[in-house]
Amino acid sequence: MATKPQGDICVDCQERDASLDIRNRRLCAPCFIRYVNSKILKRMESYRFKNLAGDQKRRLFLPLSGGVSSLVLLQVLDAQLQKQMESRNKTAYELVIARVVLPDTETQTEAEGQYQQVSERFPLHNFLPLLRLYDVFRLDENIHQDLIHLGIHRQETESHDEFSRRVLSCATSVTARADLQSILLRRLLVSLARRQNCEGVLWGHSDSRLAALALADVAKGRGGSVPATIADGPSMHGINFNYPARDLFKVELQTYARALPNPLVAESKSDMSDRVAPTIRNTSIGDLLTNYINEQGVKYPSIMANVVRTASKLQAQATDQETNACPVCVMPTMRNPNSSRGNTVLCYGCARVKQDIRA
User: Which residues contact Zn ion by CB under 5 A?
Assistant: 10, 12-13, 16, 28, 31, 326, 328-329, 347, 350
CB 232 within 8 A of CB 241: yes
- For residues 34 and 15, give the distance between their C-alpha atoms in angstroms, rounded to a whole number: 15
Query: How near is the Cβ of 331 to Zn ion at its closest, in Å?
Result: 5
Closer residue to Zn ion, CB minimum distance, 244 or 332: 332
3-state DSSP assignment of residue 6: coil
Closer residue to Zn ion, CB minimum distance, 12 or 140: 12
Closer residue to Zn ion, CB minimum distance, 305 or 326: 326
Query: How near is the Cβ of 248 to Zn ion at its closest, in Å?
Result: 18
Query: How near is the Cβ of 323 to Zn ion at its closest, in Å?
Result: 12
Closer residue to Zn ion, CB minimum distance, 28 or 111: 28
Beta strands in 198-315 (DSSP E): 200-202, 233-234, 240-242
Closest CA to 61 of 38, 80, 49, 77: 77
Query: How near is the Cβ of 188 to Zn ion at its closest, in Å?
Result: 16
User: CA triplet 285, 115, 56: central angle to 5 degrees?
Assistant: 95
3-state DSSP assignment of residue 240: strand
Closer residue to Zn ion, CB minimum distance, 231 or 329: 329
Query: How near is the Cβ of 32 to Zn ion at its closest, in Å?
Result: 8
Query: How near is the Cβ of 317 to Zn ion at its closest, in Å?
Result: 19
- DSSP per-residue letters across 49-111: GGG--TT--EEEEEEE-SSHHHHHHHHHHHHHHHHHHHHHSS-SEEEEEEEEEPTTT--HHHH
Closer residue to Zn ion, CB minimum distance, 126 or 344: 344
- For residues 111 and 295, give the distance between their C-alpha atoms in angstroms, rounded to a whole number: 26
Q: Calculate Rg over the CA atoms of the chain.
A: 21
